[in-house]
Amino acid sequence: MEFAERVRGSLVGGALGDALGWPIEFLRLDRIRELHGEAGLTDLADAGRGGQVTDDTQMTLFTAEGLLRGGRREDLHAAYRRWFQTQRLPGPERFPDGWLAGQEFLYASRAPGNACMTGVVLDCTEAVPFGQDGPVNPNSKGCGTVMRSAPFGLVGLGPDEAFRQAALAAQLTHGHPTGYLAAGAFAALIERVAAGVPLRAAVSSTLARLAAVPDNAETTQALRRAVRVADEGPGSAESVERVGLGWVAEECLAIAVYAALVGADAREALVLAVNHSGDSDSTGAVCGNLVGAMYGLSGLPADWCALVEGREVLLQVADDLVAFAHGDRAALADRYPLPVG
């Protein structure tokens, strides 16, 4: 399978999981079953919100934009500031800063994460060495780091740089080591899967990368738990909840890995990833990034792809990431103006 097919799958897949999970983000499992039956919410057409996506997809797009508009940590910070503006303004300004900020659908505010909102308004801070508490929201390890970080693995950085850059950019909003290391692990995992490495082997190599940095225990244990529960039997919502609830970064990553391991295909994995009492849209989004990279765009449910909000923009950004990864950057200058000076 071509790299471009996997990158497209990863961005669109994330949006599918986000859209499927968003209507049940704040519902407990028993309530989801009351509303949608024993199997839970199994079809995006039944979600009732017209395929809407939330902050997870929005921030993922701005992560991609930050990478395409310079790629330094301060460029990521500037991109997250542009995302923040979408959460405050009713729609694009007359002369939006870049092509992405001109996309009307991004201006919806749908339960954005607290640490992301409070973190990005601060100035761009110095990065701290792995294992130390970062200066911004030092106790936060919410999943807002993981859910936005897939593009670091889709832009040709290689697994070590994907890990490093994602974790350092995660420190812009979340200072707890698990918060930013889980984002690094996710980016490295996505990078390997998008390179064609089977998921289990990609998880193993990610665990080895984690072992090389201090304070990795929570993220390592969560990933190991995902694999162990996946090996114990067929997928179920009860098994998902043994892996975690996904409000915190390492559990969000672990649920996505669990669902991707156990699901027979992308649709089954996404349904598993969202039907639980936890943070359904983020676990869905992260799982979608993963299964999209595994199965490619054509391996995603076509009926859901036709429904999901922002599909054309997601595909354009995916192709832009691929062009960038291939060093073909001249055509990107119009959509992604580089920083001056």
Q: Binding site for Mg(2+), residues?
A: 54-56, 279, 281-282
Distance, in Å, from the CA atom of 300 to the CA atom of 13, rounded to the nearest integer, reads 7
CB of 111 to Mg ion, least distance (A): 6
Distance, in Å, from the CA atom of 178 to the CA atom of 187, rounded to the nearest integer, reads 14
Q: Which residue's CB atom is positioned nearest to Mg ion? A: 54
Q: What is the 3-state secondary structure (H, E, C) of 156-223?
A: CCCHHHHHHHHHHHHCCCCCCHHHHHHHHHHHHHHHHHHCCCCHHHHHHHHHHHHHCCCCCHHHHHHH
Distance, in Å, from the CA atom of 179 to the CA atom of 249, rounded to the nearest integer, reads 5
Distance, in Å, from the CA atom of 330 to the CA atom of 204, rounded to the nearest integer, reads 37
Cβ–Cβ under 8 Å, residues 303 and 293: no
Cβ–Cβ under 8 Å, residues 84 and 121: yes
Give me the phi and psi of 233, to 5 degrees please. 165, -175
Going by C-beta distance under 8 Å and a sequence separation of 6 or more, which residues neighbour residue 242? Answer: 225, 229
CB of 106 to Mg ion, least distance (A): 13
Angle between helices 217-232 and 249-262 in degrees, nearest 10: 30
CB of 247 to Mg ion, least distance (A): 11
- Between 55 and 191, name the residue whose CB sits nearer to Mg ion: 55
CB of 86 to Mg ion, least distance (A): 13
Cβ–Cβ under 8 Å, residues 332 and 68: yes
CB of 12 to Mg ion, least distance (A): 17
Cβ–Cβ under 8 Å, residues 240 and 255: yes
Q: Name the site residues for Mg ion (rule: CB under 5 A).
A: 54-56, 281
- Between 10 and 54, name the residue whose CB sits nearer to Mg ion: 54
* Rounded alpha-carbon distances, angstroms, from residue 40 to 34, 37, 277: 8, 5, 11
Composition of the chain by helix, strand, coil, percent to 5: 60, 0, 35
